[in-house]
Structures are given as C-alpha cells and as structure tokens.
Chains A and B, each alone.
Chain A
Amino acid sequence: EDQVTQSPEALRLQEGESSSLNCSYTVSGLRGLFWYRQDPGKGPEFLFTLYSAGEEKEKERLKATLTKKESFLHITAPKPEDSATYLCAVQGRSGNTGKLIFGQGTTLQVKP
C-alpha cells in the first residue's frame, strides 16, 4: 500500500531562519512526487512535481529534492508569507495510477 509520512507535524521559524521539511514515502513504482501549499480556508496549491531520484526543483525561497525513499522541501531565509501547511503526495505506477496519496502535512509558521 502506498504511504506518505511527513515530518515534523509543525515547525516554527524566525524570519530568515532556513530549515527543511521531510516527506518519506513507500510506493510501488514512483510515477511522481508532488508538493503543495495550503493556506487556511483554501484548497491546496500546486508547487512542484519530482519524477526521479536526484531531481531538484526551485521556486523563490523553496527548493524540493528527491531520493528513492524521501523528499525534502528546503526553505531558505523564509518570510512570514511562507507560513502555510505544506503537503506532500505520491502517485504510483501500479493499480489506479490517476490518484495522489497525501501525507498529513507540515504546518509552518514564520515569525517576523
């Protein structure tokens, strides 16, 4: 069964204090790993897709990396507007391949 575990559940940072969020996964053949951002009262917003180990994607202060067992979302010099819940999801190659399995998310709070 495909599974996604995110850690930590919650993270508090001071503005400018860099850190990383972890996403560990088990899947029968990875088709893609996805990162989303969710603000309170809104739907998840797509950030990145990673397809193979060693791949990296960047967007502003965020960088996502992928290994065969986990993905990291690195946040460099975060700002208060980066505060949100970050969700990781995997899409497998076996069975019904259209669906994404989500982790529980990491709630990030960045204080000024």
Chain B
Amino acid sequence: DAGVIQSPRHEVTEMGQEVTLRCKPISGHDYLFWYRQTMMRGLELLIYFNNNVPIDDSGMPEDRFSAKMPNASFSTLKIQPSEPRDSAVYFCASSFTGGHGYTFGSGTRLTVV
C-alpha cells in the first residue's frame, strides 16, 4: 500500500489567493482527518470525516477554511482567501473503525507571503 498520499508537498502562495490541499487516504479506511502543525500550537485537529461525512469541524479556524470528501478515496482542504498566519504544515491521516492509531501522510508545507 502506498500509504496516505498528500499533494502538493510544498505550496507558496500570496496572501489573498485560494489554496487547495489534497489527500488520498489508505484504501479501506473509513476515517479521514485533517491536522495542522505549527511550532506554537503543535498538532491541531481541524476536521474529520467518517464514511465521507464530516463529523467534527470545530477545529476549523474560520469560514475561510472548508473541507470536502466527495468519495472514499479523496479529500480536499481549501483556504480562501489565504493569510500569512495560515502558514503551517497540514497533515492528512486515515484510519479504520477498530484500528489502532492513524496513518499520517507526509504533509503539505504551506507558506503564505
């Protein structure tokens, strides 16, 4: 299995632009999570899905952030408009019911200038 696949690995964008991060979970996993990691705040859960349905989006910072999971093999996290304070590493992770822990992707390093 190729693991959790995220793209792009790095993204540099200007303030005000739209940014879309992509994630392909492990086949057969029914949970998908989006986390953000910064030095100051560590790993923060933004939103998670179960069977493609959003379960908890209380960690989404504000309306500029949105996430979708149109099918079991794909999810996106969109930031519109982006701001410098959104600069962070964004991780996607997946797991299955009854499983032990998550499998994380390699992350997308986002820099907003």
Which A residues are within 8 Å of any B CB, using their own CB? 32, 34, 36, 41-46, 49, 87, 96, 98-105
Bound: A32/B98 CA distance, A: 11
**A100: chain B residues within 8 A (beta carbon):** 33, 45, 101-102
Q: Which of A32, A43, A102 contacts B100 (CB 8 A)?
A: A32
Please tell me the number of chain B residues within 8 Å of chain A, measured between CB atoms: 21
**B95: chain A residues within 8 A (beta carbon):** 98
**A99: chain B residues within 8 A (beta carbon):** 33, 45, 48, 56
In the complex with contacts A34-B101, A99-B48, A105-B42 CB distance below 8 A: yes
Question: Can you give 28 contacting A-B residue pairs, CB < 8 Å?
Answer: A34-B101, A36-B101, A42-B107, A43-B93, A43-B104, A43-B105, A43-B107, A44-B43, A44-B91, A44-B104, A45-B104, A46-B100, A49-B101, A87-B43, A96-B48, A96-B55, A96-B56, A98-B31, A98-B48, A98-B50, A98-B56, A98-B95, A99-B33, A99-B45, A100-B101, A100-B102, A102-B42, A105-B42
Further 12 A-B residue pairs, CB within 8 A, beyond A98-B48, A100-B101: A34-B101, A36-B104, A43-B106, A44-B43, A44-B102, A45-B104, A46-B102, A96-B48, A99-B33, A102-B42, A102-B43, A104-B42
Interface readout for B1-35 with A: 1 if CB under 8 Å, 0 if not? Answer: 00010000000000000000000000000010100
Q: Is the interface of A mostly helix, strand, loop or mixed?
A: loop
**B104: chain A residues within 8 A (beta carbon):** 36, 43-45
**A101: chain B residues within 8 A (beta carbon):** 45
In the assembled complex, B103 has its CB within 8 A of some CB on chain A: yes
Ranked nearest first, the 3 interchain pairs of A and B with the lowest CB-CB distance are A43-B104, A102-B43, A46-B101
Determine whether the beta carbon of A42 is less than 8 Å from that of B42. no
**B31: chain A residues within 8 A (beta carbon):** 98
